[in-house]
Structure 1
């Protein structure tokens, strides 16, 4: 079972006057990762490199940011894989200290920065969620909202027209039971739709 992190974790290494500032944090997709990397570049204008690795399904990436190929991003990504993590971003901001570390030294520095940040971290089981949409009469809205809350669903949107349209997400493991419960509550008056209405 893949895990993610409850929140960001940090670690800093000093190696031959070079400073490596690591952060590993939850991240759902590449768009979010790019925003975070841009924030780090702005926060550390004097940094030589901002290397990063994203492990997020089909959106995974490994970026060396000017370091010799394969010495930063890929080793960081392998640390995340070895820890059985998913939906996480590892970043390492490097301030060059004037002494070259060589390819092996760089590989160890980036790997150790991320691995040290993850020491003793509390992992959270990653719950895959699915999004569902339904329509129902106004008279059922209160009952359905209570059932959603009891079923661990998160209400995403509510639209009020001739019918009430609800969009919500639910852990995949709880989906079947919640749909069954909502169908029982609706007594044939609750309809499922493919997209928000």
Structure 2
């Protein structure tokens, strides 16, 4: 396998359970520090919420670079069920914060586990994702007039730009899924030169 799916942007869903409002927010994160910063930003955004529980996988699907937190809910009722869903969903580089505005009505331990795990599942059902290729980077050089065409081909072939340099000519470092690389290079060979190193 030469890649995996990652969130294509921030995504949010909301559900009411026994009067409590639950809001799940997901975003792509590439490191545990980035995940923690995302959690802190949501705690600020929803500072008046009863709880802001979280889980993240900051690497390929099922990666050990992961974490979770119950944020005051009974131990193990929020972070672990959220983490369980993320670990087995097949999406990498993802963090989810589930914010709860409590109605005061008790959900019980089982109810909380179902609510937090369920909100992550609900969020993932409509989460826009894109393919992240883990193949070797390719270095391209082109004139400015061909940049948009190369970008278009890159998007069509599921690739991404890793680095851009606009001094004199345009230099791009890109990554394309192995299965798409030959077709991509064939399409852009008239527009851009492949540079070694």
Classify the TM-score, shorter chain: 0.5 to 0.7
What secondary structure sits across from 2:90 in the alignment?
A: coil
1:158 aligned to 2:154? no
TM-score normalised according to structure 2 size:
0.68
Pair 1:98-2:101 in alignment: no
**CA–CA separation in structure 2 for the residues paired with 1:142 and 1:66:** 54
Do the aligned partners of 1:148 and 1:178 also contact (CA within 8 Å) in 2?
no
Task: Out of 4-13 and 149-158, give the one that drifted further.
Answer: 149-158
Instruction: Give the Å deviation of 1:14.
Output: 2.8
Between 1:72-81 and 1:146-155, the stretch displaced more is: 146-155
Cα 1:13/1:115, change in 2 over 3 Å:
farther
Which residue matches 1:41?
43
Q: How far is 1:31 from its partner?
A: 3.5
Aligned length: 181
Bigger radius of gyration, 1 or 2?
A: 1
Q: CA deviation at 1:142?
A: 5.6
State the 1:27 CA deviation: 0.6
Tell me by how many angstroms 1:10 deviates. 0.5
Give how far 1:43 is off.
1.8
Gaps spanning 5+ residues in structure 2: where?
none
Mark the CA change 1:150 to 1:21 in structure 2 (over 3 Å): closer, same or farther: closer
Secondary structure at the counterpart of residue 132 of structure 2? coil
Kindly report the root-mean-square deviation, in angstroms, between the aligned alpha carbons of the 2 structures. 3.6
How far 1:60 sits from its partner (Å)? Answer: 2.3
Query: Once the 2 structures are TM-superposed, how far is the Cα of residue 102 of structure 1 from its aligned partner?
Result: 3.3
